[in-house]
Chain A
Amino acid sequence: MTVKNETLDRIVIRFAGDSGDGMQLTGDRFTESSALFGNDLSTFPNFPAEIRAPAGTIAGVSAFQVHIADHDILTPGDAPNVLVAMNPAALKANVGDLDQDGMLIVNSDSFDERSLNKAGYSSNPLTDDSLKNYRVYEIPMTTLTLEATKETGAKPRDAERSKNFFALGLITWMFNRPFEDTFEWIKKKFANREIVLESNLVAYKAGHAFGETAELFGSSYTVGPAHFTKGTYTNITGNHATALGIVAAGLLSDMEVLLGTYPITPASDILHELSKLRHYNVKTFQAEDEIAGVGAALGASYGGSLGVTTTSGPGVDLKSETVGLAVSLELPLLVIDVQRAGPSTGLPTKTEQGDLLLAMYGRHGESPVPIVAALTPSDCFNAAIEAARIAIKYRTPVILLTDGYLANGSEPWLLPDTSKLEKIDPNFKTEPNHVNSDGTGSFYPYIRDPKTLIRDMAIPGTPGLEHRIGGLEKANEIGSVSYDSLNHELMVTLRNKKIEGIQDDIPLAEVDDPSSDTDILLLGWGSTYGAIAAGARRLRALDKKVAHLQLRHLNPFPKNLEEILSTYETVIVPEINLGQLSKLIAAKYLVSVQSFTKVQGVPFKAAEIERYVLNMIKEN
């Protein structure tokens, strides 16, 4: 029998297995080879907080979804077309998402009674007809892997662990990915562990050969390369892009970067990335706690460096007092909140947009802080630079909001022309700005630019400009302690106006409204960009006209937002929280908005956006 080759325009594949099965590695590798092949792609890793939850249980299931296409795509895909399930628990946890007629590839060796019980199956789904709507391929991956690795000298227990490479080989064949790329990658990755290397290689080869020769599959598939803009690309996750953005901000401002941080899911990868980049004038400081992390970052900023701290919601709670100090001192500080599902410890590895109001209001007193949100994994690079630019220029803490979905998800990124990235000028003062009555000069730390209200800042080591600042209220301009009530009101107002004034220094909002003839605006912020944009595409394909605006700047909002809101009768605000942007918009502009929310630890699907709008149109 000859195997046909079908061409598809897109496919969504989900690898699912036990936490210890190496599903993230398998998914990552398949993604990389698809990227090199030239597909557009988007990924969504979804894993438990436990490193190794009890094997075989639903709690321990780890999954990696990748969407590859021959055209421009925006999300990791709503429903997988192919599900690779390494055990019954992985099947049970994921089969509900599988597309109708989807392809199901299972490791049949793992469907013994014990494993079925652990997963909570009372009968074997492979034999009880419950999977009859899917194209099911039962492959004894463990047995085949053990057979293939017999000669490698690996003990059976170790050899069995290569079965994810068997699966990878099979999928590589099925989707016509270049065999050699991954072969070479395995060699490099496991170069220091001879036996592991050997058994992974033979398992990978065996999986590939199995696809070719088993005559089980009627077809293999090709998803052709996408038509990308010319240029150089890399596949990048949000956390990696954030780290690179931080480095870039340091280089663009010619400031040393100090990352003061404490490990926390899902932000730690930023620390890991930056720790490798010492030669870019970056120092990383893993502090004793969240508070010390941000304290050190602020201390570095005071000394003229770019102080950065990375964290997630629980860490933002702890850092809020120091962020308030930075508001009061008016010092640059970049706080990156990789949001996760809360409250409290919540769902550490799952995504949420629950910290918008925390970023906006989570400090005592009148304590305004600019907020920037990244829209896609690669956009974290630009968002980090933008947040740092505002922090450095306006001498203020800035909170950058990303989230677990952006942090771990990846997409191709057209590398920017670095020569076009704008320099950032910290504009430190080196001369006195005040003449004393005796004619000598001194430095007043709270003299401001009359237009932007940015204060003069001089760093230690500058002769003649010695001065003291602190968290107590400061006398206007002079900076010494003042308990004067009207002065306090003046300072509170000045600090607030300074932040509001950033409106003049950020881009106007641009609505995606191809028809220019609709009353419906989909208004999102941050990481919902892909799902909302894809939802809008689907609606337009059905001739339903919608406009879409995705906000990057959340405080202050773009100057033209009010005008935009007034142009649309219906404003729908989809968010992965209980309606936080809705509240801000409604309170500020006194417009009525429809809040559309989801708080399940996973991003919106494009179909959910589509369905919501369709239902709304129907009801009207």
Chain B
Amino acid sequence: MTVTTRKDWASDQEVKWCPGCGDYSILAAVQLLMPEFGIERSNTVFISGIGCAARFPYYMNTYGVHSIHGRAPTFATGLALTRPDLDIWVVSGDGDALSIGGNHLIHALRRNVNIKILLFNNQIYGLTKGQYSPTSEIGKVTKSSPFGSILSPFNPISLALGAEATFVARSHDMDRNHMMEMMRRAHDHKGSALVEIYQNCNVFNDGAFNEITSKDKRADNLINLLDNEKIIFGQNNDKCVAYDRENGVKIADVSSVGEDEIVVYNSKLDNPALAFAISRLASGPYSPTPVGVFRDVQKSEYGEALRAQSQDAVDKKGRGTLEGLLGSLPTWTVD
């Protein structure tokens, strides 16, 4: 157990996000959380692609790589397969992870390799100065959609669940403790983990999450998923998530449904159907939206399984040597 403080985890680099950017609070949450794990900074690696979020590794006093657009999960996967001793975090944005890097994201999740992916979702392209992203809502007016976006956005949680992710959570940049709890759970999870963080871009998409994250609206519009607890929310605890014949689940008034119709959440279910149904309750951050851990199940971790195969080969054949390598070929000898 190594004792560190938040300060130890901050690099000497000046942070260069726009003043007021949600990324600051995520950085603070990460730097506050790291000491809790009792790990060495030298065994921690932050890897990113391209975008505003991708500058994150420069600000962590750990090992770090700022790679190329969308490819951070691939780089992290190669590192995780060969260095199980490291804590590996991928920091990505909605463009990086869901557009140019979409293929890598779904396969990194499917593979269940030991990397923790923080997806800063601000529903806009920030670094390229304000084009619509794969999570922008229909109708979004941006520089590249002056007449409004006509594309359906991805729901990152639904996407991750469809990609066989074993750990999927959502948080937002206005609640440090909740972010830290989601990251803590992700860190403790064996395998790949995705934490979607609603992050405000105050320059190109300011207030995108106001409907659900502003202090006065949270109680009514944030649905906090807690294992083994009934999903009840609202200022007066008068709303709930109840089972629904057509859609699996629905939002209802507590008073209008029977006690046993209210969903008791369980992120550990092997079948992701309930998690998926819950992820569909909101089509965007404008109506009651679930946050918390959607899914947290234990499956074989790819790196561990691969290493087990290697160990098995060594057990059966012995550790290979150069002489053995050439000696195993069918040969003939000329005297």
List, in ascending order, chain B residues with CB within 8 A of A258's CB.
78, 81-82
Q: Do B43 and A460 touch across chains, with their CB atoms under 8 A apart?
A: yes
Map CB proximity to A onto B75-93 as digits: 1 under 8 Å, 0 otherwise: 1111111110110000000
CB < 8 Å: which of A281, A299, A416, A480 contacts B74? A299
Q: Do B323 and A418 touch across chains, with their CB atoms under 8 A apart?
A: yes
CB < 8 Å: which of B58, B306, B331 contacts A481? B58
Q: A252-B322, A288-B103, A322-B68 are in contact. Are A468 and B11 (CB under 8 A)?
A: yes
Tell me the B279-328 residues at the A interface (CB within 8 Å).
306, 309-310, 312-314, 316-323, 325-326
Map CB proximity to B onto A217-251 as digits: 1 under 8 Å, 0 otherwise: 00000000000111111111000000010011001
Q: A296-B81, A299-B75, A470-B67 are in contact. Are A229 and B334 (CB under 8 A)?
A: yes
Given A232-B334, A299-B80; 7 other pairs, CB 8 A cutoff: A38-B332, A260-B78, A279-B316, A291-B71, A302-B79, A461-B42, A468-B65
Cβ of B106 to closest chain A Cβ, rounded Å: 8
Q: Do A279 and B78 touch across chains, with their CB atoms under 8 A apart?
A: no
Cβ of A182 to closest chain B Cβ, rounded Å: 13
Bound together, the chains give a CA A264 to CA B160 distance in angstroms of 28
Q: Do A295 and B74 touch across chains, with their CB atoms under 8 A apart?
A: yes
List, in ascending order, chain A residues with CB within 8 A of B81's CB.
258, 283, 285, 296, 300
Chain A residue nearest in CB terms to B79 = A299
Cβ of B174 to closest chain A Cβ, rounded Å: 28
Q: What are 19 A-B contacts defined by CB distance under 8 Å?
A: A36-B332, A232-B332, A232-B333, A234-B326, A244-B326, A251-B321, A277-B325, A279-B313, A280-B320, A285-B306, A295-B71, A297-B78, A299-B47, A300-B78, A304-B82, A321-B68, A329-B65, A465-B42, A480-B58
Q: Do A233 and B333 touch across chains, with their CB atoms under 8 A apart?
A: yes
Map CB proximity to A onto B16-51 as digits: 1 under 8 Å, 0 otherwise: 000000000000000000000000111111010000
Q: Do B331 and A467 touch across chains, with their CB atoms under 8 A apart?
A: no
Cβ of A294 to closest chain B Cβ, rounded Å: 8
Chain A residue nearest in CB terms to B330 = A234
Whether A463 is near chain B, meaning CB under 8 Å from some CB there, is yes
Bound together, the chains give a CA A307 to CA B58 distance in angstroms of 24
Map CB proximity to B onto A246-287 as digits: 1 under 8 Å, 0 otherwise: 011001100010101000000000000000011111010101
Map CB proximity to B onto A494-505 as digits: 1 under 8 Å, 0 otherwise: 000000000000
Q: Do A292 and B82 touch across chains, with their CB atoms under 8 A apart?
A: no
List, in ascending order, chain A residues with CB within 8 A of B268's CB.
none
Q: Do A247 and B320 touch across chains, with their CB atoms under 8 A apart?
A: yes
Q: Do B58 and A421 touch across chains, with their CB atoms under 8 A apart?
A: no
Q: A299-B78, A471-B68 are in contact. Are A288 and B329 (CB under 8 A)?
A: no
Cβ of B38 to closest chain A Cβ, rounded Å: 15
Question: 6 tightest CB-CB pairs across the interface, nearest first?
Answer: A295-B74, A470-B66, A299-B78, A296-B78, A280-B320, A299-B75
Residues of A participating in the B interface, judged by any CB pair closer than 8 Å: 32, 35-36, 38, 228-236, 244, 247-248, 251-252, 256, 258, 260, 277-281, 283, 285, 287-289, 291-305, 307, 321-322, 325, 329, 415-416, 418, 421, 460-472, 480-481
Cβ of B143 to closest chain A Cβ, rounded Å: 24
Bound together, the chains give a CA A461 to CA B103 distance in angstroms of 29
Q: Do A230 and B42 touch across chains, with their CB atoms under 8 A apart?
A: no
List, in ascending order, chain A residues with CB within 8 A of B325's CB.
244, 247-248, 251, 277, 280, 418
Residues of B participating in the A interface, judged by any CB pair closer than 8 Å: 11, 13, 40-45, 47, 57-58, 60-68, 71, 73-83, 85-86, 103-104, 107, 306, 309-310, 312-314, 316-323, 325-326, 329-335
Bound together, the chains give a CA A307 to CA B79 distance in angstroms of 10
List, in ascending order, chain A residues with CB within 8 A of B323's CB.
418
Cβ of B126 to closest chain A Cβ, rounded Å: 16
Cβ of A444 to closest chain B Cβ, rounded Å: 13
Q: A251-B322, A280-B320 are in contact. Are A230 and B334 (CB under 8 A)?
A: yes
Q: Do B322 and A461 touch across chains, with their CB atoms under 8 A apart?
A: no
Cβ of A508 to closest chain B Cβ, rounded Å: 27
**Interface-central residue, A288, A304, A469, by most chain B CB under 10 Å:** A288
Q: A231-B333, A251-B325, A292-B104 are in contact. Are A322 and B71 (CB under 8 A)?
A: yes
Bound together, the chains give a CA A162 to CA B200 distance in angstroms of 70
Bound together, the chains give a CA A155 to CA B332 distance in angstroms of 38
List, in ascending order, chain A residues with CB within 8 A of B310's CB.
278-279, 281, 283
Cβ of A502 to closest chain B Cβ, rounded Å: 25
Q: Do A233 and B82 touch across chains, with their CB atoms under 8 A apart?
A: no
Q: Do B331 and A233 touch across chains, with their CB atoms under 8 A apart?
A: yes
Q: Do B57 and A421 touch across chains, with their CB atoms under 8 A apart?
A: no
Cβ of B320 to closest chain A Cβ, rounded Å: 3
